[in-house]
Structure 1
Amino acid sequence: ILATRKAVNEKEDENVGIESIEGVTSTINTVKHVGRGLESYQEKRQEKKLQKYLNQDAKLEQKIGFEKAYEGKYKAKGSNRINNYFFKKKIQREYNKEIRNTSGTRLIRGFKETARNAWNSIKRGSKKSSLYILGLLFLFFGIMTLMHSCSSMIMGGLGSIAGSSYQADDINVTNADVEYTKLEASLLKEIEDIEINNPNYDEYRYNLSSVGHDPHELIAYLTALFQDFKVNDILYVIEDVFNSQYDLTTQDIIERYTTTRTVTDPDTGERITIREVHEKKILVVTLNSRPLSLVLKERMDDEQKEIYNILMETKGNFMSFPSPIDGEWKSAITSMFGYRIHPISGEMSMHNGIDIAGSEGTKLKAIFDGRVVEAAFDRNGFGNYVIIEHESGAQAIYAHCSSVDVNVGDEVTRNDVIARMGSTGNSTGNHLHLELKEPSGNRLNPYFYLHSEIDEYPLSASTYYNGYTGNYGNPGIAYDTETVRQLFNEAERHIGKPYVYGANGPNAFDCSSFVAWSFRVSGVKPDLYRTTAQGIFNKTTPITRSEAKAGDIVFFTGTYGTSSPVSHVGIYAGNGFMLHAGDPIQYTSIDTNYWRNHFYAFGRLN
């Protein structure tokens, strides 16, 4: 449990739901003794007086018991307004569960005792037998009415507390989503290794939908089905949902094409044109993906859909921390928490935080009150980083900073500026890598906890997350010069438009027409007209990768059957990315196996 959930009310204000349930239990205790009080008026009066004090003691004991549970379990860890709310909601859930499980048993036991007393009196020939029978009937109907009222009250309380919240603990919520990302990353790795595992083809064609999901959708669905859950118990459900969302297929096709070549007849010296028919073996790779929300809604009944919709509206009541940057963080996210294909190594690995892109120097803010426990430099990992620790022991880690504005031992409050965004350490571009740890050291997914006004899943996360199949989004690259910004402002206007061979814009492009259009219409290269990828290469001076920068051009070979060495072209964006006319137009990492295997050269326009 993350001990830093924000409190929205003071501690005393939150006892209302619990006290109402305590009132129910004390009322039940009173009912249990009514039968005994029927023996005589005087005994009944004495019994009522005694029960009044017993009820007061019981109620006080219940309240003290709750407070001790709360204080003993959490206060010792250091709590204040920022964590009272969440912890007490958790205790309320547990308390409601206990009441629900035991109140029925107590009611039945009390009813049996009263009935037994009445029957014993009848057997003794009591003159008041009829009174006992009437009392018993009265008690029976009273209990039935009370049970109905108790049920409504308890269920109403449970509904208000639990109905809009994720019921699993924080670690299981995070780990359930991690299991889904593991399946997605394995799928992406399988696609990336297609050419390695299927080497005997002349050409590979990819028709790939994007990969990615909204973690809130998955957890809302699991909560609607199971309420509380343990990840190991529901792995089969996660895998089943995944198989319903994604479908990867391959198909072998043979295409024939004709080439011409001119030769000289050795006998006559005449130039002769020869036509030749060739065959090429092609592997077509297709990934169809469906929106996760549609997949999930097909699997739920009406009641589960209602719970799901409420949870999606409230985001499980998990969002409690402000944005770590000025403005909206979700629209700037470029890499999600969980398994992914690493943008540098190209291997499947666990990503322990979320990446939020922005310009160098962007202010980074504390998401909760705490103390700076580390502020250092890690050359091969985090670069400049800072760790703030809440008094509960929870930690937030800010990595790849251009600079750090605080020192070890400093006390910080929410929204204090603690560092500036950068690209130090093992990084591909300016961004904040944000990690969140609960007091025991388990990493939690910050995506669940940061407040956002955006309901939709960020499409840019899909783009970077899968490395090469997403449809949108700048992966966090800030362009330094006005000319380069001018070029990419025009090029980014066409993101998401379809690839059509031979098209020349503005509604569709092929690879070379997109590059030529972007340079020409932006005014960066007004005389770069429609030509082939080879034609663009012929207008450049080859450069090395270390020399390449945003605004240069990157060329590839062998992506389809052509007599020219260069078959594909894109605008280099820096940090290992290009903006190109894939299908559709998108930012793509050039460091995947596919693009590394087909790389030809970098070039700079003459």
Structure 2
Amino acid sequence: SRVQQKWKLKRRYSKEAKAAAKQGAKAAKKTAAASGTATRRAAQFVTRHPVAVLVLLLLLLLCFLVSAVSSIFPTLGSGLANALSGTSYASEDTDLLGVDEDYTALENELAQTVANIESTHPGYDEYRYSVDEIGHNPYELASYLSAKYHVYFREQVQDELREIFEAQYELTLTEEVEIRYRTETSTDPETGETTTEEVPYEYYILNVTLTNKTLPAVILPRLNEQQREIYTVMQQLKGNKPYLWEGIYNGGEDTGPSYEIPGEALDDPAFAALMKEATKYIGWPYVWGGSSPSTSFDCSGFVCWVYTASGVHNLPRTTAQGIYNQCAIISPSEAKPGDIIFFTGTYDSPGPVSHVGIYVGDGMMLHCGSPIQYANINSSYWQTHFYAFGRL
């Protein structure tokens, strides 16, 4: 009957289920036994070979580190490249040097104009000069143009060079007339008696004034805040091209502030007054066109300030060449503390004299290099560039 068939099927399914359960239990026991055996064998291997296991772990750790670092290097390299490109002059060296030559040519033309004043404006009884140093720091110009344009070409920036130049320098000629008196003697033709009298006359003076506002004072206002930050970094690093203008910071073997002037030299009141004023500024930076404590100094500005402020000699602001032109030239054997020493070829200057310092005796000078400090004039550098000694 159907009831009996259902009962038989039910009993068969029950037997099969029990058999399957027994088979699963046996398989689980075998798996557990195998797992336990593997664990015991692994433990035995670690116990017997600890060094090998440690080496294996270190190799795995090293592989992990190499994988991690290799993923960092592309980003790091890209960041380093971007940092270097942001502080480097991107223009070709030929353009960097050519642009500076063009600006120097404008300055040389100006220097020649000043030098020829007496021939181009003749007829004056006296010419009075108050002339700032003509010159610029080429790294300042290159940093400015690089910060503004990133890459620039020589022919591209000619108009801007002229604008900057005209803003940096101002040459003014002012005529001044003084009424002076001279003594004239006359003789009476009849009596032969001589008489003298003071006769007024006009004395014509041409005042020649050249003002150098300095390059930074002109170019920085032409940059926005971000460009000024780039300019500052480039200027500090010299655009990662320090070889372009190696000679502009007058070198030599500087001794710093530790040098002591021999006491006997300071017995001269004039020299003592010079040194009292000059040594105030040891360590101050070299600033192109600087001529007072408010701006710091360049080489000629330092000498002019010290001589004038000390009361030793009234030396209005002029160039190194201008100081030389006012001195009586003396031989090295005649030089004494307080004389002035001149050098040539320390940079591409308009005239033969490019650098000046105050001789302090014993083969030493105090000058505005980079920064203001003492230097041994007998070093190979200064001997190579020596020009003359002068005395005011």
TM-score by length of 2: 0.49
More helix by percentage: 2
Report the TM-score, using the length of structure 1 for normalisation.
0.33
Larger radius of gyration: 2
